[in-house]
Amino acid sequence: MAVFCFIAGCFGYVLTSLVVFLVIAFLCYCLYIKYIHLKYDHIPGPPRDSFIFGHFPTFSRERSNGRIIHDKFLEWSETFGPVYRLNGLHVVTLFVTCPDTTKEVLMSPKYPKDTLVYKHLFNLFGQRFMGNGLVTARDHDLWYRQRRIMDPAFSSLYLQSLMGTFNERADMLMDKLGEMADTNTATSMLHMFNCVTLDVITKVAFGVDLDLLNDSDTPFPKAIEKCLKGSVHHTSDKTFQLNPKNWKFISEVKDAAKLLRITGRQWINKRKMAVQNGEDVPKDILTQILKTAGSEEKMGKDDEELMLDNFVTFFIAGQETTANQLAFAVMELGRLPEILAKIKQEVDDVLGMKREISFDHLGKMTYLSQVLKETLRLYPTAPGTSRSIPKNIVIDGIHIPAGTTCFFNSYVCGRMDKFFEDPLKFDPERFHPDAAKPYYCYYPFALGPRSCLGQNFAKMEAKVVMAKLLQRFDFSLLPGQSFDILDTGTLRPKSGVMCNIRHRGPTPTGT
Ligand code: HEM
């Protein structure tokens, strides 16, 4: 009995000590949060929903009500000015729309990508994802080495040599749309563009033929979509993994990320074999990815992982963004007959009955460029970027302490009337060659050293696909296909942009 009492006493003592310790730890944490509030509360911002969770409850509320979180950021930017603060636990993030600060921070290598977002893309729920690849590398030297190695695969000369592939894949899409037109089948343009952009990136970047338009069984499009959805939850909701309701989804996301990496390993090994056997391999992105790993003899586990990081990076960065842009462009053109007529006229003038689009043709279709730019103003399909601020700075007269994360959101800037008159109006004339250039408030491809490596690739690809579509088909939106955006971090038209397609005339054949 005495032994029992002794053990029970010890247990009670340990339990009480533990509770006291937890209470003290919690109070210390609350004090730390209070300290953070005192340090940052001079920066304007919306009232916090809760002392501990800050503005998190608003985020959850907006999401569960099906609203686009970027619209909330826009509303707050308009209310609180060029820099405002958001809190969540002990973390403070700043949202910046001040053009001078955007210029200073994004154009300089002094401000690294922040941990808050990019650490959460290193892995997805424990499964390595984009790792230290080009988009997510935060260490300047590691990033710079990769970027220099990748540059040749994006040089103007090399991109011009890709015109054949852009044409060939776009023609396959046109053939498919032709079949839809013949059978009067309504078409999800988003789905079609997803297939073609994935076909292009796998062919151009990795030398692999997928032919997704005719083989819908390949798991890649779903895997990419799953990873993108997963990455939004992983970066924005710290409690997501704790809820058993989400465990099935999390396991699917991890499987999807694993599938991409396993495929990457297979394709990389195949290319390595080809190189070792002295075969003639293209100077494509995959060849450059192999170079990031150094020589075969010195290649270690880290090098292997880095190659896979970049494989996943190009799959993710180089596909959905362009597909969504094209789908949004069709959505807007479907609503605006005058702009549609003008752009068709330009395509007819430049291409006539020519089937093969050349690099020179692309330069002549300036109104098409304007339409694509305007599409990315209203629908920036990668809506922003973020940086760490390592030293104290001043934004619009407000002192910003070192160690803060700043978000730069191109969706918000693109929709502010202080930057763009009548901002919700789709008006390609804003990007007329003679119009004033927006001053650090339009950056769909980001800006400065960490701007999109694939932007010229994306612009060429989008123009070829769009020009062929306009040359060959008339399209009309099915009802209910308008401004229905799904907010998954990247912006995507939820409705899929369903269209009826009709032939415009005989199939172009000339060269
Ligand atoms: C409309 C299409 C596209 C848009 C709107 C877009 C937008 C962006 C944005 C905003 C960033 C910066 C991301 C960040 O800071 O977190 C970025 C980076 C990047 N993008 Fe794109 N992108 C597009 C297409 C592509 C394509 C087609 C490729 C490849 C073929 C590509 C490859 C990359 C890479 C490698 C980076 C990282 C650059 C670096 O940090 O050095 N993107 N893109």
Tell me: the pLDDT tens digits for 284-325?
888 888 877 765 556 677 778 888 898 889 888 888 899 999
Instruction: Calculate mean pLDDT across residues 171-178.
Output: 94
Mutate to test the pocket of ligand 1, among 232, 455, 460, 465 (most ligand atoms within 8 A of CB): 455
Residue 344 has pLDDT above 90, yes or no: yes
452 annotated as a binding-site residue = yes
| Strands of the 187-188 sheet, one edge to the other | 187-188, 498-503, 473-477
- Which CATH number characterizes residue 407's domain? 1.10.630.10
Q: Is the CB of 446 under 6 A from ligand 1?
A: yes
The ligand 1 atom at the shortest distance from the C-alpha of residue 380 is 5
Task: Place 494 in a pLDDT band, splitting at 50, 70 and 90.
Answer: confident
Amino acid at 430: R
Residue 407 has pLDDT above 70, yes or no: yes
Residue 51 placed within a domain = no
Q: Is the CB of 385 under 6 A from ligand 1?
A: yes
Instruction: Calculate mean pLDDT across residues 67-87.
Output: 94
- pLDDT tens, residue by residue, 218-230: 788 788 888 888 8
Residue 372 near residue 444 (C-beta atoms within 8 A)? no
Cα 128 to ligand 1 centroid, rounded to whole Å: 20
Residue 167 near residue 357 (C-beta atoms within 8 A)? yes
Distance CA 294, CA 282 (A): 18
- pLDDT tens, residue by residue, 111-163: 999 988 888 888 899 899 999 999 999 999 989 988 988 888 889 988 998 89
Cα 453 to ligand 1 centroid, rounded to whole Å: 6
Domain that holds residue 413: 56-503
Q: Is the CB of 411 under 6 A from ligand 1?
A: no
Instruction: Calculate mean pLDDT across residues 368-385.
Output: 96
Cα 347 to ligand 1 centroid, rounded to whole Å: 27
Q: Is the CB of 135 under 6 A from ligand 1?
A: yes
Crossing angle for the helix pair 301-317 and 189-206, to the nearest 10 degrees: 150
Q: What is the 3-state secondary structure (H, E, C) of 383-414?
A: CEEEEEECCCEEECCEEECCCEEEEEEHHHHH
Q: Is the CB of 105 under 6 A from ligand 1?
A: no
Closest among 418, 419, 464 to 443, alpha carbons compared = 419
What is the predicted pLDDT for the residue at 268? 87
Cα 409 to ligand 1 centroid, rounded to whole Å: 15
Give the total number of structural domains in the chain: 1
Distance CA 264, CA 167 (A): 26
What is the predicted pLDDT for the residue at 206? 85
Phi, psi of 243 (to 5 degrees): -90, 115
Residue 120 placed within a domain = yes
Strand partners, 485: 493
Distance CA 406, CA 473 (A): 44
Residue 404 placed within a domain = yes
Residue 176 placed within a domain = yes
What six digits make up the tokens of 445? 């491809």
Residue 106 placed within a domain = yes
Residue 341 placed within a domain = yes
Residue 360 placed within a domain = yes
What is the predicted pLDDT for the residue at 295? 57
User: What pTM did the predictor assign?
Assistant: 0.92
Q: Is the CB of 372 under 6 A from ligand 1?
A: no
Q: Is the CB of 321 under 6 A from ligand 1?
A: yes
Residue 142 placed within a domain = yes
